[in-house]
Structures are given as structure tokens and as C-alpha cells.
Amino acid sequence: MPYLILFEDAPDHDHIRRAHMSEHLAFLSENARHISCAGPLFDGDVGAGGAWLVSTETADAAQALVEADPFWPTGLRKSVRILRWHHVFADGQPTQ
């Protein structure tokens, strides 16, 4: 089942992101079968968080991915929302 995961990052934590980025990117690569895309979000030029598009059986499995990310225990993530997503349009075409 597809889920959109929205991360809001704590302010003034860029040093944490930089310190753990290589482990975070390795984690994303290792979990590519579930995480189809991921990237940062910005408010203007300022980093504001991130988003992942994942496919897992349950929201709990998506939460487990979040908690396995090396960023999770660092305090970087201020909040996380896991939203079930229904894919209806891509590449200029309906998907249904």
C-alpha cells in the first residue's frame, strides 16, 4: 500500500543532517524496495523537512522504516506524518 511520509525538521539542526547524511542515503538505498523516492522540502531557501513515497503493507511498517532511518534517533525530526496515498495520475495519464 502506498504512503506519503512528511517530515518536519527541527530548526537549527543542519549540523545533524550533515553529520548523518551518508548513513541516511545508505539506508534509503538499502530500503529502495519500499522507498521509491525521497527528498528534502524547503520553505523558500531554508530546509523545512523531507518527504518519502513508500510502499508497505501497513502504516505500522511505514513507521518502522521511519524509526530505522539513522536520522530518527538524532532529534532532527520534529514531526512525522504518515498518510495513505492513492495513486490516480502519473506521466500525463490516469493510472486507473
The domain spans of the chain are 2-87
**Between vectors from CA 28 to CA 72 and to CA 60, what angle results, nearest 5°?**
55
Which CATH number is 2-87 given? Answer: 3.30.70.1060
CB neighbours of residue 38 within 10 Å? 19
Cα 41 to Cα 37, 44, 58: the distances in Å are 13, 9, 24
Mind listing the pLDDT tens digit for each residue in 33-84?
999 999 999 999 988 999 999 999 999 999 999 999 999 999 999 999 999 9
Cell of residue 34, nine digits: 519500499
